[in-house]
Chains A and B, each alone.
Chain A
Amino acid sequence: EAGVAQSPRYKIIEKRQSVAFWCNPISGHATLYWYQQILGQGPKLLIQFQNNGVVDDSQLPKDRFSAERLKGVDSTLKIQPAKLEDSAVYLCASSLGRGHRGTEAFFGQGTRLTVV
């Protein structure tokens, strides 16, 4: 079974530039998450989709971050304009259900973003 695919693996941009990340979840997984992980810390949830609808985007800095999941499959996360503090690994995860009593989340390898 193919895992969660993310691209690119690495990205270096200058501050104030824009960047986009792509995620293809495991086939059949209705729930898709985007997390931001600062080096050495746990992932922080940015946004959660159930099919193509947003369930939770309370932690998403909406003035600069946006995300979409068209047709309930692939998703893109965009940052515009980027700031130095956006340097982090951006992880995409998917799960079969909506998270009841320990549903397993499957993670991609992440995109490491460096803003200079």
Chain B
Amino acid sequence: TQLLEQSPQFLSIQEGENLTVYCNSSSVFSSLQWYRQEPGEGPVLLVTVVTGGEVKKLKRLTFQFGDARKDSSLHITAAQPGDTGLYLCAVYNRAGTALIFGKGTTLSVSS
């Protein structure tokens, strides 16, 4: 059973469109991270959310942590080709030692 379920798995859109990707779980987490991975590179941290209901903005990216701290969403406004990549959500395991990833959403933005 996958701890983190991400949807959609693939998303292909045109430049300028808006989109939302989701990260869901039946477990409660003390924090949740979003990473972006570009082709041929390792994942890079975008944001960490720690409080239920928290909203964080990073330029055109808006991250929200669910009130119950079981899920999160990432909304991109006016997507650009540079947003293309694999978006991964991640949490630490119960022991707080190991970082566990979802399977990711592959986003392709064409101009």
Given contacts A4-B42, A101-B31, contact A43 B92 (CB under 8 A): no
- Cβ-defined contact, A33 with B99, below 8 A: yes
Interface presence of B70 (CB below 8 A) = no
Given contacts A43-B43, A48-B97, A109-B42, contact A101 B30 (CB under 8 A): yes
Which interface class (under 10, 10 to 19, 20 to 34, 35 or more) fits A?
A: 20 to 34
Q: B21-42 CB contact bits vs A (8 Å, 1 = yes)?
A: 0000000001111000000111
Q: B68-109 CB contact bits vs A (8 Å, 1 = yes)?
A: 000000000000000000101010110011111111101000
Interface presence of A104 (CB below 8 A) = yes
Using CB atoms, name the residue of chain A closest to B89. A42
- Cβ-defined contact, B42 with A93, below 8 A: yes
Using CB atoms, name the residue of chain A closest to B92. A99
- The A interface, classified by DSSP as helix, strand, loop or mixed, is loop
- Cβ-defined contact, B33 with A99, below 8 A: no
The A-contacting residues of B in range 19-68, CB under 8 angstroms, are 30-33, 40-45, 48, 50
Q: A51-70 CB contact bits vs B (8 Å, 1 = yes)?
A: 00001100000000000000
The one of A4, A42, A99, A110 in contact with B98, judged by C-beta atoms closer than 8 angstroms, is A99
Q: A65-102 CB contact bits vs B (8 Å, 1 = yes)?
A: 00000000000000000000000000101010011111
Instruction: Give the distance to chain A from B58, nearest Cβ to Cβ, in Å.
Output: 14
Residues of A within 8 A of B42 (CB): 4, 91, 93, 107-110
Top 10 A-B pairs ranked by shortest CB distance?
Answer: A107-B42, A42-B101, A102-B48, A102-B31, A42-B103, A42-B104, A99-B92, A104-B45, A101-B31, A41-B103
Given contacts A33-B99, A40-B106, A42-B102, 11 further A-B pairs with CB under 8 A are A33-B98, A41-B104, A42-B103, A45-B99, A48-B98, A95-B99, A98-B97, A99-B97, A100-B92, A104-B48, A110-B41
